[in-house]
C-alpha cells in the first residue's frame, strides 16, 4: 500500500513486532511460527502474544530447547515450500546453531543453483541494558553480516519493526531480523495496514549539512539526542539509520559524506571488529577525497557485557559518548 494511504496510530515496538508477524501469517498460508516458548507463553518478550489463539497449534509451535533443531526445521520446511518464522530467543544462542546458519541456511540456495527458495525469517533479540549478563546481552550482527546468502535487518522504530518483518517474510532468501531488548517500550506511529520497508534502503532520520552520523539499532535514538547537543555547538548533524545491514545502502551514506565531509559510525556492538569498520571502509573507498577528517567510531569496549547494572550502564554507548567523539573529531 502506498505511504500516503496508510493510517498510522501510536504503538510500542513490541506490539509492532506482533502486528508484523500477524500480517505475515494472514498473508501467507504456508507461514508458521516456531521457537522456544512462542506458543503458550507468547515468547519470552511477549511479541507472539495472541498468535497461537488466532492461528492455532498447527501454525504456532513450541519447540524443544534446541537452537540447532529450530534452524534445521526452518531450513527443511522452507526448502519444501513453507515460509517459516523461526525465533532465536537471544542472539547469543547463535553459537548453538552456527553450523546450521552458516553452512546450511546461508548456502543452500546457492549450492542448489537457485532452484530452491529458502524464505526463512529469523527473529532474534540483541543488545544489553537489562542486566542479563554476558551470555544474553551481546550484539553479534557482524557475525551474520559476514555470511553470503543471508540478509540482515535491524529495526529501530515500531514503524520499521512491522515493515521490515513483512518485507523479510516476503523475500525468498533467509533474512535475520535483529531486534533490541531496550527498544520494546519505545512508541511510534504504525499504520494498521500491511506495508513493507524495502530491504537495502537506509533512512535519513534527520537531515543535516555538515556532519554525518550513521547509527545502527537502538543507537539511532542516542544519536538523535547527541545531535540536539551538537546543534548547540553549530554542528548540523545528518543521522542515517541503515535499517538493513546486509545488503548495505552504501549510496545513501556516501552521498551524505560527500555533502558533510565528516562521518561518525555508532553501534552498540563491541567497537573492535564491529560492523562499523565495514562502513568506514566503504566510505573511504567511495568518498575518500571528500573527507576533511578521519572517520570516527563509537562502540562498546572490548569486554563481555557486565552483569552489574552500574558497569553495564558504563559499557553501553550513549549520547554523551557520541558527542565526545564528535567534538574530538571536529576539534571542538
Question: 146 an active-site residue?
Answer: no
Cα-Cα-Cα-Cα dihedral sign, residues 186, 187, 192, 198: negative
Q: Is-contact 85 121, C-beta < 8 A?
A: yes
CA 205 to CA 225: how far, in whole Å?
Answer: 12
Please, what is the Cα angle at 331 between 327 and 332, to 5 degrees? 55
Name the catalytic one among 136, 146, 221, 267: 136
Q: Give residue 43's region: left, alpha or beta (phi > 0; psi -120 to 50).
A: left
Q: Which residue has the cell 529495526?
A: 155
Strand partners, 32: 84
CA 31 to CA 166: how far, in whole Å?
Answer: 12
CA 129 to CA 316: how far, in whole Å?
Answer: 8
For residue 247, whether the previous peptide bond is cis, meaning omega lies within 30 degrees of 0, is yes
What is the largest distance, in Å, between two alpha-carbon atoms of the chain? 61
Residue 61's contacts (CB-CB under 8 Å, 6 or more residues apart) are: 32, 33, 34, 35, 38, 39
Exposure b/e, 214-246, CB count within 10 A at least 16 = b: bbbbbbbbbbbebbebbeeeebebbbbbbbbbb
Q: Is-contact 68 108, C-beta < 8 A?
A: no
Element (H, E) at 21: helix 13-27
Q: Which residues are catalytic?
A: 136
Amino acid at each position: 500500500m502506498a505511504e500516503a494511504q496508510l493510517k498510522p496510530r501510536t504503538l510500542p515496538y513490541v506490539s509492532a513486532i506482533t502486528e508484523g508477524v500477524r500480517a505475515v501469517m494472514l498473508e501467507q498460508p504456508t507461514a508458521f511460527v516456531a521457537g522456544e516458548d512462542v506458543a503458550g507463553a507468547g515468547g519470552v518478550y511477549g511479541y507472539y502474544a495472541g498468535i497461537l489463539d488466532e492461528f492455532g497449534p498447527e501454525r504456532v509451535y513450541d519447540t524443544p530447547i534446541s537452537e540447532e533443531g529450530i534452524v534445521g526445521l526452518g531450513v527443511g520446511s522452507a526448502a519444501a515450500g513453507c515460509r517459516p518464522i523461526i525465533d532465536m530467543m537471544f542472539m547469543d544462542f547463535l553459537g548453538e546453531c552456527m553450523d546450521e546458519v552458516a553452512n546450511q541456511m546461508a548456502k543452500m540456495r546457492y549450492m542448489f543453483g537457485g532452484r530452491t527458495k529458502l524464505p526463512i525469517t529469523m527473529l532474534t533479540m540483541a543488545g544489553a541494558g537489562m542486566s542479563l549478563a554476558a551470555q544474553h546481552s551481546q550484539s553479534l550482527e557482524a557475525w551474520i553480516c559476514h555470511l553470503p546468502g543471508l540478509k540482515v535487518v535491524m529495526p529501530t522504530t515500531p514503524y520499521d519493526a512491522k515493515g521490515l518483518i513483512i518485507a523479510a517474510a516476503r523475500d525468498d532468501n533467509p533474512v535475520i531480523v535483529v531486534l533490541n531488548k531496550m527498544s520494546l517500550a519505545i512508541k511510534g506511529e504504525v499504520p494498521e495496514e500491511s506495508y513493507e520497508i524495502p530491504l537495502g534502503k537506509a533512512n535519513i532520520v534527520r537531515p543535516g549539512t555538515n556532519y554525518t552520523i550513521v547509527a545502527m539499532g537502538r543507537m539511532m535514538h542516542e544519536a538523535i539526542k547527541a545531535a540536539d547537543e551538537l546543534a548547540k555547538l553549530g554542528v548540523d548533524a545528518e543521522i542515517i539509520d541503515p535499517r538493513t545491514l546486509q545488503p548495505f545502502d552504501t549510496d545513501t551514506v556516501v552521498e551524505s559524506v560527500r555533502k558533510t565531509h565528516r562521518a561518525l559510525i555508532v553501534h552498540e556492538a563491541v567497537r573492535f571488529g564491529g560492523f562499523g569498520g565495514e562502513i568506514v571502509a566503504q566510505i573511504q573507498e567511495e568518498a575518500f577525497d571528500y573527507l576533511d577528517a578521519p572517520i570516527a567510531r563509537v562502540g562498546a569496549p572490548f569486554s563481555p557485557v557486565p552483569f552489574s547494572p552500574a558497569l553495564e550502564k558504563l559499557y553501553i554507548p550513549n549520547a554523551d559518548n557520541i558527542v565526545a567523539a564528535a567534538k574530538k573529531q571536529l576539534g571542538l
